[in-house]
Amino acid sequence: MIRLVAIMFVLTSLSGSAFAAEETIATLRAAAISEAPQAPALAKVFNRDLRQVRNYPEQPPLIPHKIEGYQIDLNTNKCLTCHSRVATGQSQAPMVSITHFMDREGQFLASISPRRYFCNLCHVVQHEVQPLIENEFVDIDSLLSTGGQGTKN
């Protein structure tokens, strides 16, 4: 009998916690976890052909143009048809930098390094949307100008 009561207690507390989870409002989707809210419309891709300022020197630059339908697989790499060394005369696109020819030992290869072949591992397009949450990122140049004290207070 005691064992039965114990099992019932466990069951009730489990269903209790499941109920609590259902009531939680996930912040970014602004709906309960159990609900399937209507998805927002797809946002436009930033496609203004203007290079974006990098947030820090090592940042892979953001892609300032559409890449829809640009295929990258074993046989073809659409990005390199404009960004490879030989293509830049025709495309006037910036050449992939010399780091993209380096292997992991820092040796320069004759052509693009396999670990830089899938461009979208690092380079991404942006969408024309407002940030979902406040961003407190401080650019290093602003930080340096405050003598490392930050921009707050």
The pair of three-digit structure tokens given for residue 89, joined into one six-digit string: 């005369």
Tell me which residues in 73-112 interact with ligand HEC (CB under 6 A): 77-83, 91-94, 96-97, 99-100, 112
Site residue total, ligand HEC (CB under 6 A): 34
- For the CA atoms of 94, 95, 98, 102, what is the dihedral angle to 10 degrees? 130
Q: Which is nearer to ligand HEC, 37 or 60 (CB)?
A: 60
List Cβ neighbours of 26 (8 Å cut-off, separation of 6 or more).
32, 33
Residues 30-49 that bind ligand HEC (CB under 6 A): 49
The 114-133 contact track toward ligand HEC, x by CB under 6 A, reads --xxxxxxxx----------
Q: How far is CA 148 from CA 55, 57, 73, 134, 137, in A?
A: 17, 18, 45, 22, 14
- Residue 137 CB contacts under 8 Å (≥ 6 apart), including other chains: 55
Q: Tell me the closest approach of the beta carbon of residue 128 to ligand HEC, in angstroms.
A: 15
The residues that touch ligand HEC, with contacts defined as CB under 6 A, are 49, 51, 58, 60-61, 63-65, 67, 70, 77-83, 91-94, 96-97, 99-100, 112, 116-123
